[in-house]
Amino acid sequence: MKRLITIAMVLCTASAAHAFCGFYVAGSNEPMFNDATQVVLMRKGTRTVLAMQNNYKGPLQDFAMVVPVPVVLHEGDVKTLPKQVFADVERMSAPRLVEYWEKDPCMKERHYAEDRVAMSAQGVAEAGSAAPASDTGVVVEAKFTVGEYQIEILSAKDSTGLDHWLHDHEYKIPAGAEPLLRPYVEGGSKWFVARVDPKKVKLVDGRAALSPLRFHYDSDEFTLPIRLGLANSGGKQDLIVNIIAPDQRYEVANYKNVTIPTNLDVTDAVKSKFGAFYTALYDRTIEKNPGAVVTEYAWGAGSCDPCPGPTLTPETLTTLGLDVIDAFTPEQQKARDAADAAQKRITDAYSQPSQPSQEEMRRWYEELNALEQVAPQHANMWNLVLTRLHARYGKDITNDLVFKQAPPIVGGREFVVDEDTRKLEQGAQPSSSNNFQGRYAIRHAWTGPISCLDPVRGRWGGPPAGVEDTGTQPALGLAFAPRDQVKLADSVLKDIPELEVRAARRAGCGCDAGDPTGALAGLVLGALGFFRPRRRGARQ
């Protein structure tokens, strides 16, 4: 049975224009900036939990966030969160840089095949009754306080009335916002307006240290509203969406989907400018696939290989909304208890000497399936898949993102597909499980003596004695990564055919695990090394 639990995270990655699923208003004409917004959507069935963190710089007087929501929210639906949970999700799915050293080509390994298999690896309530409608057609459906936020839930008859209401209440909304409001009002959206109490907010380096907000609601649609973010935008915006679901990865249904080129060997220089390298790779991918949404990660949430840090914990998922998503109503809990009992009856039956009839077993399974429909089993760390999608767009965007289920893929692992050439898997390939990642490698060729007649090149592992292992480097904070500072052709050691990039430098001595010519050259040089031993030197 297919069950839907999703977490979507939005990271803004442009220095002056940032993706946001709403827009900002304030009581002054001072400029408002949002250095980075992270939005996390968790969903199961029709229940959605949305959590968002903002780094806001601008006037606090009468500052507010305005976000469209499908239903009226109440005090119990809204809470504040710690910021660390957003960093945990970003780190887990980020593109990663690894470093490998070639093993002694003469070393014998009985179980080498095992080495190369990748691991699958609250608030104070205020009045909540609806206020009478004004001549703008706007109704205050609910009103309460959570942390430093004074929250109002509005409904509006038309976008012009909402525009006027915000102006009447001395909010300086962005110019041209009314046309962006229109499709949401016409679609029946309510409006979550979170005003900040300046007395409860601390300034850190000139920025308001706002608490992340989380709220939940029920809706049949699974979309992410991004068009309203253009109201505060001055140019291109980057949008990163992380989705976590049981046994399921996701793509977008209304834009083209592509996967990021992966398993690329890169030069040593990339180590100090990995963020700039990755933005160059991403920008080239979008240049060749205009308007596409790029899949950068699809992997089990409870494992990783290589890992840039700890995996997501049950505590992190609970904080982001798993407590709300996985909670049962009394009726559902009754069905869940009955389903567990039905499952136990079936399991016990198989261990008895006399087996039930096929007809009886069929009825038991039908009963179990019906109960599972009412109350599916809770999610766990080992059946959740984390998908990361990345889009870059400007004011020409016309549609919000709509998500759809997609089949499993693998790619970006240290997985040899050809023993003779030591070639790694390339790109994204269909599979029965999800193990795909954007992974890039710096490789240091063996520089010691080669004293055998049958050297095996292209076997990689950790650093030799005396060389520091700096671990896996994730590309974090892409909002601040420089663009146009790295040339792909100078940074990669093999061609990227799908992007029409030809490497300026090429790996030799078998250093390029994906290049059969390099592997052959490595064997030749290895044989020469047998007659002319070399002293092992510093890493390349």
The answer to whether residue 335 is domain-embedded is yes
The answer to whether residue 77 is domain-embedded is no
- Residues 502, 503, 506, 507, Cα dihedral to 10°: -110
The answer to whether residue 54 is domain-embedded is no
109-118, 352-361, 403-412: segment of lowest average pLDDT: 109-118
Residue 369 is part of which domain span?
327-374
Distances (CA, A) of 87 to 11, 57, 173, 199, 353: 11, 20, 30, 27, 54
Residue 160 and residue 41 in contact, taking contact as beta carbons nearer than 8 Å: no
pLDDT score at 31: 47
104-108, 283-287, 492-496, 519-523: segment of lowest average pLDDT: 519-523
40-49, 50-59, 200-209, 329-338: segment of lowest average pLDDT: 50-59
pLDDT exceeds 90 at position 270: yes
User: Which segment, 121-135, 176-190, 248-262, 455-469, is predicted with the most confidence on average?
Assistant: 248-262
180-204 per-position pLDDT tens digit: 777 778 778 888 888 888 788 777 6
Q: Is 207 exposed, middle or buried (0-12, 13-18, 19+ CB in 10 A)?
A: middle
Choice between 456 and 527, residue whose per-residue pLDDT is larger: 456
The answer to whether residue 358 is domain-embedded is yes
pLDDT score at 13: 28
24-28, 309-313, 320-324, 404-408: segment of lowest average pLDDT: 24-28
Q: What is the DSSP letter of 227?
A: G
Choose among 210, 190, 212, 214: nearest CA to 41.
214
pLDDT score at 228: 56
pTM of the prediction?
0.69
pLDDT exceeds 70 at position 156: yes
**% of the chain residues with pLDDT over 90:** 22
DSSP codes of every residue in 503-532: -SS---TT--TT-HHHHHHHHHHHHHHHHS
pLDDT score at 37: 55
Q: How confident is the model at residue 355 (pLDDT cuts 50, 70, 90)?
A: confident
168-177, 223-232, 365-374, 400-409: segment of lowest average pLDDT: 223-232
- Mean pLDDT, residues 400-417 taken together: 90
- Mean pLDDT, residues 344-357 taken together: 82
Q: What is the DSSP letter of 320?
A: I
Q: How confident is the model at residue 58 (pLDDT cuts 50, 70, 90)?
A: low
Average of per-residue pLDDT values in the chain:
76
pLDDT score at 26: 52
What DSSP element (H or E) covers 103?
Answer: none
Residue 425 and residue 417 in contact, taking contact as beta carbons nearer than 8 Å: yes
pLDDT exceeds 60 at position 279: yes
The answer to whether residue 361 is domain-embedded is yes
Burial 215-246 (b: 16+ CB within 10 A, else e): bbbeeeebbbbbbbbbbbbeeebbbbbbbbbb
444-482 per-position pLDDT tens digit: 999 889 989 889 888 888 888 888 888 899 998 876 788
Q: Is the dihedral of CA 317, 470, 461, 518 positive or negative?
A: positive
Number of domains in the chain: 1
The answer to whether residue 23 is domain-embedded is no
Choice between 187 and 208, residue whose per-residue pLDDT is larger: 187
Alpha helices in 221-357 (DSSP H): 274-288, 314-317, 323-325, 330-350
pLDDT score at 227: 62
What DSSP element (H or E) covers 151?
Answer: strand 149-156
Rounded Cα–Cα distance for residues 4 and 247 (Å)? 9
Residue 401 and residue 223 in contact, taking contact as beta carbons nearer than 8 Å: yes
The answer to whether residue 443 is domain-embedded is no
The answer to whether residue 366 is domain-embedded is yes
DSSP codes of every residue in 406-452: E--EEESSS-EEETTTTEEP-S-EE-SS-EEE-EEEEEE---S---S
Q: How confident is the model at residue 42 (pLDDT cuts 50, 70, 90)?
A: confident
Rounded Cα–Cα distance for residues 88 and 471 (Å)? 17
The amino acid sitting at 196 is V
State how far Cα 46 lies from the chain centre.
21
- Mean pLDDT, residues 162-179 taken together: 72
pLDDT exceeds 70 at position 441: yes
Distances (CA, A) of 430 to 126, 259, 298, 376, 410: 53, 12, 12, 27, 6
- Mean pLDDT, residues 407-421 taken together: 88
